[in-house]
């Protein structure tokens, strides 16, 4: 016993502790060195034991999309290990088609994505898989295919575009700066609430009332996006501290607005006379379906429907319009060609109808606004469809600035992508529209240039494969609202680019903000001029 105690005593001396610590440190450093040596010839970010590529990704978080561009230009597939999962980023259309279509069942949204986004999107169409997704998509596809909804949408989009035009007109006469992205977010929010939910919320009123819902929605969007690379978010959520505490308050504000919309719509339906024609907005359709007990549609389900369509119909469209205006005003030849196409539309209408265009004084607000209104009446679903250059400008904007810059999918079972990359169950595969639009192997040596002409052949618009141009996704989950989005964007840009010219406020920074939608971090501050 005494001998054993002596051995313990000797081992516990200060020098032995130091030696032991030194040996452990050497072992750890050797292990790290070996791991890094194994990866010396692999393409992709620096990875380390335990933390993976989290350090480099966190350091580049604010510019993550461009960070990925660098790596995907070197390799069409990039593997990024993280502490609790592994992301496989893909930019090759062959791999994208395999994930989004050919082996669709193996790449759902997945539990990881659902857990990150559930607090905001719940069990809505963009955050679920399986039967729940199929039911919502079937209902939504029925509505989007409706001619009644299309005709109603055309009127709503025109009305709100004119409201935006009136605000810009006033700004131009008073030499006021405007935040175009903020105005577009208001316009698209009002539009989706009217078209999708049958309610008027008036955020684009002339006095621009405070929009607490939109502010809370943007804050929540930023924080749930951060969750994808923040390994501590569950701890912060449990303790209700930091960003998760802010998120909790934002969700409360969002829910207050959303449930009020639902209750208002329900009350209107209940108050309607039996002889009154049922409104065809999307929310009303889901409310009617909820009357069947087999559908199990609760107010929470309706809340999720509303928020999923808000993020689809407000954020994506407004962000794309913001980038489009920025690209148009920084490419004068594009602005001029677009203006010429819109002027030609007016002249063709005058000839076909044997009518005359209103004469107007560009220095007189009333005269100017009357002329804008006359032009807006020419913008029908059919006439907008003939504006091929405008369509090309929007599409080229989406190629370089896709509304959804990256889209992760879960992996159910181990698999091998067409290029030979092995992916493991439980990881994530992310196709990256932002990078795909900038890859020379997809678009040629001018891939990084803004060139609407690439979409035209003999003056007519030509589509590209949806697995190469992925702004609206592809395969079974391809965006149902694509035509509606184009309709609204063409309506707004036709009016704005015909009657206004924009200049960036000197010194105003234009960069994206890291969130699920590619919006501008500091808005789009402009001065507005009028066109004759």
Quick check: 178 and 526 in contact, CB under 8 A?
yes
| Strands of the sheet with 525-530, listed across from one edge | 177-179, 525-530, 500-504
Cα(119)–Cα(116) distance, rounded to whole angstroms? 7
Instruction: Tell me the two tokens of residue 360.
Output: 């107007």
Q: Which two tokens mark 140?
A: 């939504």
The token pair at 146 is: 């409706």
CB 191 within 8 A of CB 156: yes
Alpha carbon 442 to chain centroid distance?
A: 22
Nearest to 424 by CA among 433, 434, 411, 436: 411
φ and ψ of 431, to 5 deg: -85, 150
Q: Which two tokens stand for residue 59?
A: 């350091």
How many whole angstroms separate alpha carbon 149 and alpha carbon 119?
A: 30
Question: 12: which residues sit within 8 A by CB, 6+ positions away?
Answer: none
Q: Is the dihedral of CA 117, 118, 121, 125 positive or negative?
A: positive
Q: Is 497 annotated as a binding residue?
A: no
Q: What does the alpha-carbon distance between residue 374 and residue 151 come to, in Å, rounded to a whole number? A: 19
* Secondary structure letter of residue 127 according to DSSP: S
In terms of DSSP bridges, do strands 460-461 and 456-457 run parallel, antiparallel, or are they unpaired? antiparallel
Exposed, middle or buried: residue 464 (CB in 10 Å: 0-12, 13-18, 19+)?
Answer: middle
Round to whole Å and give the CA distance between 110 and 169. 47
Which residues does residue 317 pair with via DSSP β-bridges, in sequence order? none
Q: Where do we find the tokens 């580049």? A: 60
Contact yes or no for 285/142 (Cβ under 8 A): yes
Kindly tell me the number of DSSP H helices and DSSP E strands found in the chain. 22, 11
Tokens of 188: 């698209």
Place of tokens 């005494």: 2
- Show the beta-strand stretches assigned E in 16-97: 77-81, 86-90
β-strands 428-431, 86-90: how paired? parallel
Alpha-carbon distance 236 to 505, whole Å? 39
User: For residue 507, what are its two tokens?
Assistant: 């010194």
Return d(Cα 309, Cα 183) in angstroms, integer. 19
DSSP classification of residue 278: P
Cite the annotated binding site by residue number: 479
Cite the annotated binding site for heme by residue number: 479
């Amino acid at each position: 016993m005494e001998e054993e105690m002596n051995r313990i005593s000797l081992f516990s001396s200060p020098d032995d502790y130091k030696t032991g610590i030194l040996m452990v440190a050497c072992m750890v450093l050797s292990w790290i060195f070996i791991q890094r040596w194994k990866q010396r010839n692999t393409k992709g970010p620096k990875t380390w034991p335990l933390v993976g590529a989290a350090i480099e990704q966190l350091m580049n978080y604010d510019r993550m999309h461009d960070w990925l561009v660098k790596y995907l230009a070197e390799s069409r597939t990039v593997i990024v290990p993280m502490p609790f999962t592994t992301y496989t980023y893909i930019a090759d259309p062959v791999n994208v088609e395999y994930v989004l279509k050919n082996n669709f069942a193996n790449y759902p949204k997945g539990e990881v994505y659902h857990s990150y986004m559930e607090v905001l999107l719940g069990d809505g169409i963009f955050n679920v898989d399986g039967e729940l997704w199929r039911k919502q998509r079937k209902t939504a596809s029925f509505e989007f295919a409706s001619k009644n909804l299309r005709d109603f949408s055309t009127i709503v989009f025109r009305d709100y575009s004119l409201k935006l035009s009136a605000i810009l007109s006033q700004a131009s006469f008073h030499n006021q700066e405007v935040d175009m992205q903020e105005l577009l977010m208001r316009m698209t929010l009002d539009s989706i609430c009217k078209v999708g939910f049958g309610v008027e919320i008036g955020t684009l009123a002339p006095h621009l009332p405070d929009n607490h819902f939109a502010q809370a929605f943007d804050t929540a969007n930023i924080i749930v996006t951060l969750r994808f690379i923040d390994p501590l978010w569950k701890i912060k959520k449990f303790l209700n501290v930091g960003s998760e505490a802010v998120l909790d308050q934002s969700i409360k504000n969002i829910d207050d607005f959303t449930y009020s919309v639902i209750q208002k719509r329900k009350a209107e339906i209940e108050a309607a006379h039996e002889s009154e024609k049922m409104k065809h907005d999307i929310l009303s359709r889901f409310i009617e379906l909820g009357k069947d007990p087999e559908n199990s549609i609760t107010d929470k389900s309706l809340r999720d429907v509303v928020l999923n369509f808000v993020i689809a119909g407000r954020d994506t469209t407004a962000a794309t319009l913001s980038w489009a205006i920025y690209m148009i005003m920084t490419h004068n030849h594009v602005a001029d060609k677009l203006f010429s196409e819109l002027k030609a539309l007016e002249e063709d209408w005058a000839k076909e109808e044997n009518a005359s265009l209103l004469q107007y004084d560009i220095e007189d607000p009333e005269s100017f606004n009357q002329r804008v209104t006359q032009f807006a009446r020419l913008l029908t679903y059919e006439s907008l469809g003939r504006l091929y250059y405008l369509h090309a400008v929007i599409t080229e904007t989406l190629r370089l600035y896709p509304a959804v810059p990256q889209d992760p999918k879960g992996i159910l079972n181990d698999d091998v992508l067409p290029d030979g990359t092995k992916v493991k169950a439980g990881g994530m595969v992310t196709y990256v529209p932002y990078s795909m639009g900038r890859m020379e192997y997809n678009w040629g040596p001018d891939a990084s240039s803004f060139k609407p002409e690439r979409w035209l052949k003999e003056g007519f618009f030509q589509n590209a494969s949806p697995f190469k141009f992925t702004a609206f996704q592809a395969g079974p989950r391809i965006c149902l609202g694509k035509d509606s989005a184009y309709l609204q964007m063409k309506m707004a840009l036709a009016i704005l680019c015909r009657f206004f010219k924009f200049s960036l406020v000197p010194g105003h920074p234009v960069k994206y903000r890291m969130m699920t939608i590619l919006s501008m971090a500091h808005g789009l501050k402009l001065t507005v001029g009028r066109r004759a």
